[in-house]
């Protein structure tokens, strides 16, 4: 077997040969004619002419050998429901959902917007879209109506699939008023909304656009809907991610390249084998849920665990109980969740048999050393970090345990994955950095299979955003600072732009600023990301009011802070709520009017802001210090 260095070098120097071999991992209804088309950089087309289907690869092709193996284990500690679905049962449910969608006139190429909590029907809906060639766009259930409306206008869906309610930490969140408000805000008129009734919301809206799922499911109970065979480069889904402009970007993914990349990653990175059980504690609204709750485990013939709930309800041992009960072999979550579990009673972990668990994988944010030491010693199992983005679809930096068991290094998620031609570059010159030198993490053209094809309906934005930010080089920018050591291990140091990472969720500070600025009392605002001991990062807002005197009365400051936080909740959802709102009478800017966000963030974290450009009013920095109590 080749070493990591040999395999990696081949994936870079001979990408066609390397990925042609990996393509054997999936079913092709029609063989591809060409592995890679690089005739139009920075766009790349993989497995040109080949026809396949994500749903067939995830479900149908396993029926001959593992029809009675569990495909999905569903656990909700919010409702107390636990269910198992074999591959045969999953196949039947996906066919029912596909038939329902067809009856609502959804066809190949149509978009279906999925706004659902973590319930089995969410997985059925995604796979049903893949089955009939529709393009799904999942919107995180925690997003507020304006967020949902923006995605409706961009995706122009033929159908929305939603539920009466979601649940989080014992609190019911009624979805239908959010959908109703979003539809009223959106310029695009969605023809129909398919409603999954969980019987959680006592008073659901009886809107004319709602279609109940259960009666249609019964009507199409014995349906069989054939798979739509798609050319490899046709879009499979659009997933929106935060951007620095405040306008979300629709990351467009293909079919064939994504299937091949995920199948390869399950062996090369996660060492998952058919019959294993994988528990990815994420949400389908994020890329981790798409890739490693839904598609990758099922493509590889594993059992996937889908979980609705928190890591500490009913107690801090719930995840470890699931490991014991379902004999989970692979677990994947974010460092934030581990920091939360670290605060729980150690006995809650010790009471369960964790012998089935082989590896814990972490991603979504940097893994700090104390957390890594704690979980490693508590579990006595390998704890493997990895790094990637919505745009890449699968880990670009990891430990390739399925190729060679390289040692982990604290503070680093690992080495570049197969096909990712990664280089750290000087922000000012574009030159490659020497080992140990801080630079922007970049990828050379072409991006490997599974990465984004483009920005949905906006090729120019794809080029301008990702391929033009590094001087003198046509390379893809991750917008992350990093440093690479002499052994090739990369450490991630933080963002170069105004996107922050809160508990593994990517949020644009500009979006939060716009939500706060919409409040009539706000004259000016700056939002920065600051270090948080649990979430990794949190948003801190610095607000200039139109009338500074309105917060002078007793309790007025607290009331205004609560009001502004509510404004963010209503525009973006509670996930984007600032950890603190600080009131100042001016914000530090250069003479040209540019906000000194990095200086504000440094002061908020108790760091020296360093050498600064000429400030319009030096008193503004003092204002920030006073607001912080420094």
3-state SS of 14-34 is: CHHHHHHHHHHHCCCCECCCE
Instruction: Report the sign of the C-alpha dihedral through residues 472, 473, 479, 483, in that order.
Output: negative
CB 292 within 8 A of CB 280: yes
246 has pLDDT over 70: no
Query: Can you read off the two tokens belonging to residue 426?
Result: 């000087």
User: Worst-scoring range by mean pLDDT, 235-244, 253-262, 348-357?
Assistant: 235-244
Instruction: Report the sign of the C-alpha dihedral through residues 415, 417, 418, 419, in that order.
Output: negative
Which residue in 224, 98, 219 sits closest to 161, CA to CA? 98
Residue 189 confidence (pLDDT): 95
How far apart are the C-alpha atoms of 550 and 560, rounded to whole Å? 9
Taking only the tens place, the pLDDT of each residue in 155-202 is 999 999 999 999 988 999 999 889 999 999 999 999 999 999 999 987
Residue 593 confidence (pLDDT): 53
The answer to whether the bond into 446 is cis (omega within 30° of 0) is yes
Q: For the residues 7-29, what does the mean pLDDT come to?
A: 98
Of 84-88, 500-504, 599-603, the range with the highest mean pLDDT is 84-88
Q: Where do we find the tokens 């107690």?
A: 315
- Which residues are bridge partners to 436 per DSSP? none
| Residue, of 589 and 397, whose pLDDT is higher | 397
Residue 245 confidence (pLDDT): 52
Taking only the tens place, the pLDDT of each residue in 51-92 is 999 999 999 999 999 999 999 999 999 999 999 999 999 999
469 has pLDDT over 80: yes
Query: Can you read off the two tokens belonging to residue 590?
Result: 């250069």
As a whole-number percent, the residues of the chain with pLDDT over 90 amount to: 70
How far apart are the C-alpha atoms of 525 and 546, rounded to whole Å? 11
Q: For the residues 222-247, what does the mean pLDDT come to?
A: 89
Beta strands 454-455 and 439-443, pairing class: unpaired
User: Worst-scoring range by mean pLDDT, 83-92, 140-149, 299-308?
Assistant: 140-149
Residue 592 confidence (pLDDT): 47
Q: For the residues 322-351, what does the mean pLDDT come to?
A: 91
CB 419 within 8 A of CB 12: yes
594 has pLDDT over 90: no
Residue 529 confidence (pLDDT): 87
Q: How many CB atoms lie within 10 A of CB 345?
A: 11
Q: Which domains does the chain have, with CATH numbers?
A: 59-66+86-228 (3.40.50.980), 503-628 (3.30.300.30)
Phi, psi (rounded to 5 degrees) for 247:
-100, 120
| Residue, of 173 and 329, whose pLDDT is higher | 329
How far apart are the C-alpha atoms of 338 and 356, rounded to whole Å? 19
Which residue in 285, 364, 287 sits closest to 118, CA to CA? 285
CA triple 228-296-99, angle to 5 deg: 30
Residue 346 confidence (pLDDT): 87
208 has pLDDT over 60: yes
Query: Can you read off the two tokens belonging to residue 458?
Result: 């906006």
Residue 81 confidence (pLDDT): 97
Residue 616 confidence (pLDDT): 56
285 has pLDDT over 80: yes
User: Worst-scoring range by mean pLDDT, 447-456, 460-469, 552-561?
Assistant: 552-561
Residue 414 confidence (pLDDT): 96
Residue 206 confidence (pLDDT): 59
Residue 230 confidence (pLDDT): 98
| pLDDT band at residue 365 using 50, 70 and 90 as cut-offs | confident
Phi, psi (rounded to 5 degrees) for 287:
-65, -30
Residue 626 confidence (pLDDT): 82
| Residue, of 366 and 211, whose pLDDT is higher | 211
CA distance readout (Å), 582 to 201, 368, 381, 507, 627 = 36, 27, 43, 19, 6
CB 134 within 8 A of CB 107: yes
304 has pLDDT over 60: yes
Contacts with 304 (C-beta within 8 Å, 6 or more apart), sequence order:
71, 72, 73, 277, 278, 279, 280, 293, 294, 297, 298
Q: For the residues 442-462, what does the mean pLDDT come to?
A: 98
Q: How many CB atoms lie within 10 A of CB 626?
A: 11
Query: Can you read off the two tokens belonging to residue 394?
Result: 């699968």
Of 231-245, 355-369, 390-404, 524-538, the range with the highest mean pLDDT is 390-404
Q: For the residues 454-472, what does the mean pLDDT come to?
A: 96
SS (H, E, C) 422-451: EEEECCCCCCECCCCCCEEEEECCCCCCCC
How far apart are the C-alpha atoms of 342 and 322, rounded to whole Å? 18
Query: Can you read off the two tokens belonging to residue 187?
Result: 């310029």
CB neighbour class for 378 (10 Å; exposed up to 12, middle 13-18, buried from 19): middle
Per this entry, what is the length of the chain? Answer: 630
């Amino acid at each position: 077997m080749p070493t990591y260095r040999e395999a990696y070098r081949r994936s870079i120097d001979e990408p066609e040969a390397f990925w042609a071999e990996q393509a054997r991992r999936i079913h092709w209804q029609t063989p591809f004619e060409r592995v890679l088309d690089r005739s139009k950089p920075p766009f790349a087309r993989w497995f040109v002419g080949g026809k396949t289907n994500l749903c067939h690869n995830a479900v149908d092709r396993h029926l001959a050998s593992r029809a009675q193996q569990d495909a999905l284990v569903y656990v909700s500690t919010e409702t107390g429901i636990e269910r198992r679905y074999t591959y045969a049962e999953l196949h039947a449910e996906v066919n029912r959902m596909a038939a329902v969608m067809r009856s609502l006139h959804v066809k190949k190429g149509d978009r279906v917007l999925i706004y659902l909590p973590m319930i089995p029907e969410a997985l059925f809906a995604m796979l049903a879209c893949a089955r009939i060639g529709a393009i799904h766009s999942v919107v995180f259930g925690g997003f507020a109506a304006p967020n949902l409306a923006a995605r409706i206008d961009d995706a122009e869906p033929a159908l929305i699939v939603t539920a009466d309610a979601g649940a989080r930490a014992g609190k019911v969140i009624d979805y239908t008023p959010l959908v109703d408000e979003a539809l009223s805000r959106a310029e695009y008129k969605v023809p129909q909304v398919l409603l999954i009734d969980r019987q959680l919301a006592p008073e659901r809206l009886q809107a004319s656009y709602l279609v109940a799922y259960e009666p249609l499911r019964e009507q199409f109970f014995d349906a069989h809907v054939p798979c739509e065979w798609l050319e490899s480069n046709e879009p499979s889904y659009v997933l929106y991610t935060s951007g620095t402009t405040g306008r979300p970007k629709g990351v467009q993914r293909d079919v064939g390249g994504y299937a091949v990349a995920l199948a390869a990653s399950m062996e090369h990175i996660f060492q998952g084998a058919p019959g294993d059980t994988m528990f990815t504690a994420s949400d389908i609204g994020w890329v981790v849920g798409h890739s490693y709750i839904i598609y990758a485990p099922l493509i590889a013939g594993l059992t996937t665990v889908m979980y609705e709930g928190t890591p500490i309800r009913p107690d801090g041992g719930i995840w470890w109980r699931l490991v014991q009960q379902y004999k989970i072999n692979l677990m994947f979550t974010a460092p934030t969740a581990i920091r939360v579990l670290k605060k729980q009673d150690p006995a809650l972990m010790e009471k369960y048999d964790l012998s089935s668990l082989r590896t814990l994988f972490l991603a979504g944010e940097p893994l700090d050393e104390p957390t890594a030491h704690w979980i490693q010693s508590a579990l006595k199992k390998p704890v493997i970090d990895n790094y990637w983005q919505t745009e890449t679809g699968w880990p670009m930096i990891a430990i390739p345990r399925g190729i060679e068991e390289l040692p982990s290094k604290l503070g680093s998620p690992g080495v570049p994955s197969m096909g990712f031609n990664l280089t750290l570059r000087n922000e000012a010159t574009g030159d490659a950095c020497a080992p140990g030198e801080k630079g922007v993490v970049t990828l050379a053209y072409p991006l490997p299979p599974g990465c984004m094809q483009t920005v949905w309906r906006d090729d120019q934005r794809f080029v301008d955003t990702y391929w033009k930010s590094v001087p003198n080089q046509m390379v893809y920018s991750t917008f992350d600072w990093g440093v690479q050591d002499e052994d090739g291990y990369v450490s991630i140091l933080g963002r170069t732009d105004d996107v922050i990472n809160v508990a593994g969720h990517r949020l644009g500070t500009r979006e939060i600023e716009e939500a706060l600025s919409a409040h009539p009392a706000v004259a000016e605002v700056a939002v920065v990301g600051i270090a948080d001991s649990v979430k990794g990062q949190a948003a801190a807002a610095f607000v200039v009011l139109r009338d500074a005197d309105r917060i002078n009365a007793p309790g007025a400051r607290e009331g205004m802070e609560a009001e502004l936080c509510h404004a963010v909740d209503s525009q973006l959802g509670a996930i984007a709520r600032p950890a603190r709102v600080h009131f100042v009478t001016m914000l530090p800017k250069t003479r040209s009017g540019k906000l000194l966000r990095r200086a504000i963030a440094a002061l908020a974290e108790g760091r020296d802001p360093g050498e600064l450009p000429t400030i319009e009013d030096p008193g503004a920095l003092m204002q920030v210090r006073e607001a912080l109590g420094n």
